[in-house]
Structure 1
Amino acid sequence: MSTARDLPAVVFDLDGTLVDSEPAYFEAGRRLLAAHGVDGFGWEEHAAFIGIGTRETLRALRERYALDAPLEELLAEKNRLYLELARTSAAAFPEMRAFTSMLAERGVPMAVASGSSRAAIEAVLAGAGLDDRLPVRVSAEEVARGKPEPDVFLEAARRLGVSPAACVVVEDAPPGARAARAAGMRCIAVPYVEGTSGDPAFRAADLLFPGGQREFTARAAYDWLTGAAGGTR
């Protein structure tokens, strides 16, 4: 039987992977844009930015809609709106909660690496009841580049004290899967958006659940991680 020392560390994306916080992110973005005179921001437009850091998303939206407000002001406003919503609305996906429990029982090192702000990460983990289980956290605010660049994952490995090759990333969006690959890490892909499972970044993942959270099970991921599933899916 493999020991915890034999198993790779697991680095989780947060939004859309561990917790269902994307609706709160969408609503925060919609309210932000409406406050700056932009109406009609819809879910499909939001979905195009899933997996991309908040700063990078707002930079693109600021340019698209020719917003006058400085980027830092928009970022602070978006984070404030999001925190108001996420503290009470973001819930952990049940099978992801079960997966973290299995890993914790084996003593597997775990971290969160997210495009969200540090304050958002901490608020969401606390609201979802996962804060004690995942004390190692990296925000895109703390690195030079957000996803799809590998910086947050490389920093997570550094804080865990392991090599990138000894890490497995759990991701829900193509930019995150690309970031994992660029970091030299294996990837479990659990697509959040229906229809994105055929994205090349997901097809290159080491373990893919094409049906996303409705297909993902803690047991299947754990068995693959421990080698019981016999290779990749």
Structure 2
Amino acid sequence: MSTLAGTAVVFDLDGTLVDSEPNYFEAGRRTLAGHGVTDFTWADHERYVGISTRETLRIWKERYGLEAPLDVLLADKNGRYLELARAATHVYPEMRRFVELLAHDGVPMAVASGSSPEAIEAILAGTGLDQWLTTVVSAEEVAHGKPAPDIFLEAARRLGVAPADCVVL
């Protein structure tokens, strides 16, 4: 029996449950290659970690002289990312085991992520985590994304628990 009675766990997704950064890099590399930029490296990618995709693409348009409209680039990169997310996202083994243990003990759990609902679904389905993590909140569904607490408060609401009864990872 769990000693976490009355406690819920809310997970961030990217960098906490899964290592999605290689997929973001590869989606960006393929997008740029499709527009003639073939020398994009991991070191180049690291400059954009933590910056929104839209802002990154705006910078790329300027830096690499990309002529495609921002929305076209965004759709291209997002499509490539979703394909990779479904097929090749690495779950941290210890986190998978932790989720399984919590599920076995009946601990309510949610994912609260800055990623899009489509990306969250693709990652959870592609990794099999969707069998345990069925409550999901995307920053697109709340008024203010991180670092504001809105997604975590919404996760607590959807789980039916008080925010004070949540542990957020």
Fold agreement, TM-score > 0.5: yes
**Any gaps of 5 or more consecutive residues in structure 2?**
none
**Any gaps of 5 or more consecutive residues in structure 1?**
171-233
Q: Deviation at 1:2? A: 6.1
- Partner of residue 54, structure 2: 58
- Partner of residue 125, structure 1: 124
Give me the whole-angstrom Cα distance separating, in 2, the residues matched to 1:36 and 1:129.
Answer: 34
Q: Deviation at 1:37? A: 4.7
String of CA shifts for 1:73-110, please: whole Å, max 9, x gaps.
33322221012212211132111110001111221111
Matches within 5 A, 1:79-158: 79-158=78-157
* Aligned pairs, number: 166
String of CA shifts for 1:61-81, please: whole Å, max 9, x gaps.
414543555544333222210
In structure 2, the CA distance between the partners of 1:102 and 1:142, relative to structure 1 (3 Å rule), is same
In terms of mean alpha carbon deviation, does 93-102 or 31-40 score higher? 31-40
Percent of aligned pairs with the same amino acid: 66
Give me the whole-angstrom Cα distance separating, in 1, the residues matched to 2:141 and 2:101.
Answer: 29
Which of structures 1 and 2 has the larger relative contact order (alpha carbons within 8 angstroms, sep 6+)?
2
Aligned partners of 1:24 and 1:82 also within 8 Å: yes
Give me the whole-angstrom Cα distance separating, in 2, the residues matched to 1:149 and 1:121.
Answer: 19
In structure 2, the CA distance between the partners of 1:106 and 1:149, relative to structure 1 (3 Å rule), is same
Matches within 5 A, 1:12-23: 12-23=11-22
What is the TM-score when the length of structure 2 is the normalising length?
0.81
Q: Give every structure 1 segment of 4 or more consecutive aligned residues whose post-TM-superposition deviation is greater than 6 Å.
A: none
- Partner of residue 41, structure 1: 40
Letter paired with 1:79: N
String of CA shifts for 1:168-200, please: whole Å, max 9, x gaps.
222xxxxxxxxxxxxxxxxxxxxxxxxxxxxxx
In structure 2, the CA distance between the partners of 1:133 and 1:30, relative to structure 1 (3 Å rule), is same
